[in-house]
């Protein structure tokens, strides 16, 4: 009579511990990704030269509170986006895409752009990070001259009537940022689809704030020149205060 071999209790216990370890590892990774830190890749040049296409950044998601995944409900949101901070958020017109822009104004601020120069509450803003790469200047859609015209202009802006109108790129406003919203713009001002076109951004949409470039890949050089594709000087560059 042959004896059938039975798995030893010790092997079964070891396998159970390994499975539990994998499950806990996946759980911790998902927890970190959902609430603490998440990696993003910069897809376009709208934030040049602060962030470049091919920059891989880590985003601190807990800065503006902890959000319940797949909702806009958050708690511990004591800190709100401030002027000049770079923020990550889902594009309001297509939430499947994440955008990276700079908050230039908060609720209650009056925003105006005159000849490509940004004014907040009637004062010009010093913006060493902003670039203008197109010498052409588009004339304004129209310039509000009184309170009624300003309200009409603001309402049209909130309703995204200027979405495809280049006239708001270089000369815009004035508008007042509504409560619970911020005004965001790309640092590459002439090539950025931002609040000038699609309106104010709800604060609840903000996911977090980039704090470091952990890798940077230049798509232009051929793959045969691999060493040139890596932007070595940008590795581990801090952008939290950029």
Q: pLDDT-based confidence at 205, cuts 50/70/90? A: very high
The yes-or-no answer on residue 204 being catalytic is no
Better pLDDT: 138 or 61: 138
Asked, for residue 27, whether it belongs to a domain, the answer is no
Task: Give the C-alpha separation, 49 to 127, whole Å.
Answer: 13
**Among 98, 105, 68, residue whose Cα is nearest residue 84:** 105
Is 110 domain-assigned?
yes
| Among the listed residues 171, 159, 177, the one whose alpha carbon sits nearest the alpha carbon of residue 110 | 177
pLDDT confidence band for 29 (50 / 70 / 90): very low
Considering the domain boundaries, does residue 140 fall inside one? yes
Task: With cut-offs at 50, 70 and 90, classify the pLDDT of residue 68.
Answer: low
Q: Is the pLDDT of residue 33 over 70?
A: no
pTM assigned to the model:
0.83
Element (H, E) at 184: strand 181-185
Give SS3 for 235: coil
Asked whether residue 13 is assigned to any structural domain, the reply reads no
Confidence of residue 27 (pLDDT cuts 50, 70, 90): very low
pLDDT for 31 beyond 50: no
Structural domain of 92: 38-238
The structural domain count of the chain equals 1
Least confident of 106-110, 131-135, 218-222, 236-240: 218-222
Proportion of the chain in helix, strand, coil states, percent, rounded to 5: 25, 30, 45
Q: What is the pLDDT of residues 117-140, one digit of tens each?
A: 999 999 999 999 999 999 999 999
Q: What is the mean pLDDT of residues 102-111?
A: 97
Check 46, 192, 195, 216 and give the catalytic one: 46
CATH of the domain at 137: 2.10.109.10
Q: Is residue 234 situated within a structural domain?
A: yes
Q: Is residue 116 annotated as part of the catalytic site, yes or no?
A: no
Q: Is residue 18 part of a domain?
A: no
Out of 61, 101, 192, 216, which one is annotated catalytic? 101
pLDDT at 66 over 60: yes
Position 73 scores a pLDDT of: 67
Dihedral through CA 86, CA 87, CA 91, CA 95, nearest 10?
160
Q: Is residue 44 part of a domain?
A: yes
Which residues fall within 8 angstroms of residue 208, CB to CB, at 6 or more apart?
38, 59, 60, 61, 62, 63, 64, 87, 88
Please indicate, yes or no, if residue 45 is contained in any of the structural domains.
Answer: yes
């Amino acid at each position: 009579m042959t004896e059938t071999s039975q798995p030893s209790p010790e092997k079964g216990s070891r396998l159970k511990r390994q499975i539990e370890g994998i499950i806990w590892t996946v759980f911790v990774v998902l927890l970190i990704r959902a609430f603490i830190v998440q990696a993003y890749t910069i897809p376009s040049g709208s934030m040049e030269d602060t962030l470049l296409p091919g920059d891989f950044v880590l985003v601190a998601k807990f800065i503006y509170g902890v959000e319940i995944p797949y909702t806009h409900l958050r708690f511990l949101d004591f800190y709100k986006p401030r002027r000049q901070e770079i923020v990550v958020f889902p594009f309001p017109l297509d939430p499947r895409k994440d955008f990276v822009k700079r908050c230039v104004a908060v609720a209650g601020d009056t925003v105006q752009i005159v000849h490509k120069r940004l004014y907040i509450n009637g004062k010009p803003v010093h913006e060493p990070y902003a670039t203008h790469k197109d010498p052409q200047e588009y004339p304004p859609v129209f310039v509000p001259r009184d309170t009624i015209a300003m309200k009409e202009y603001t309402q049209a802006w909130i309703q995204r009537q200027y979405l495809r109108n280049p006239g708001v790129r270089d000369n815009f406003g004035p508008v007042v940022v509504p409560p619970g919203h911020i005004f965001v713009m790309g640092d590459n001002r002439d090539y950025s689809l931002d609040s000038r076109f699609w309106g104010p951004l709800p604060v609840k949409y903000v996911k977090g704030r980039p704090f470091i470039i952990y890798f940077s890949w230049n798509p232009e050089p051929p793959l045969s020149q691999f060493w040139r594709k890596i932007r070595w000087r940008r590795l581990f560059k801090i952008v939290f205060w950029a």
